[in-house]
């Protein structure tokens, strides 16, 4: 589960490392957008991805404490959180915007799926222990 927490933090930081990935993707989809409008769209995506990342970090921490505390609801909560997180990651990766392209740069969408892989492993291990 700690790997999932680290991957979530990495996915949350990735868009800030190189904002040009988002800007280039938006510019390709909307070639008539001004630089200011592209910057606004990039900022909106950064806010959205930061909120999603913060929720992911909170979910990992809560799940880690629940499992360590041997809470009876930990497996069900981890499974529900995995399903919600994976659904959200797939949505950001696959949903197309009005340009006909996916809204989020595919590279960032794929990075956002990495914590889901750790989540799948964690959930499988939790249910195997039962």
How far, in Å, CA of 49 to CA of 96, rounded? 16
Quick one: pLDDT at residue 4? 97
One pLDDT digit (tens) per residue for the chain, 130 residues: 999 999 999 999 999 999 999 999 999 999 999 999 999 999 999 999 999 999 999 999 999 999 999 999 999 999 999 999 999 999 999 999 998 999 999 999 999 999 999 999 999 999 997 6
Q: How many residues make up the chain in this entry?
A: 130
Q: Are 41 and 26 in contact (CB under 8 A)?
A: yes
Residue with tokens 């696959």: 94
Domain boundaries, the chain: 2-129
pLDDT at 126: 95
Q: How far apart are CA 61 and CA 92, in angstroms?
A: 23
What pLDDT was estimated at residue 111? 96
Supply the pLDDT for residue 130: 65
Q: How confident is the model at residue 129, as a pLDDT? A: 76
């Amino acid at each position: 589960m700690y790997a999932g927490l680290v991957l979530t933090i990495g996915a949350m930081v990735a868009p800030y490392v190189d904002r040009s990935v988002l800007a280039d993707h938006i510019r390709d989809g909307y070639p008539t957008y001004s630089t200011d409008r592209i910057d606004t769209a990039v900022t909106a995506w950064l806010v959205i991805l930061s909120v999603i990342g913060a929720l992911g970090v909170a979910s990992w921490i809560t799940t880690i404490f629940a499992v360590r505390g041997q809470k009876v609801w930990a497996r069900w909560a981890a499974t529900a959180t995995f399903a919600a997180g994976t659904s959200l990651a797939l949505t950001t990766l696959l949903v197309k915007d009005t340009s006909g392209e996916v809204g989020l740069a595919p590279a960032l969408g794929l990075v956002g799926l990495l914590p889901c892989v750790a989540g799948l492993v964690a959930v499988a291990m939790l249910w195997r222990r039962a």
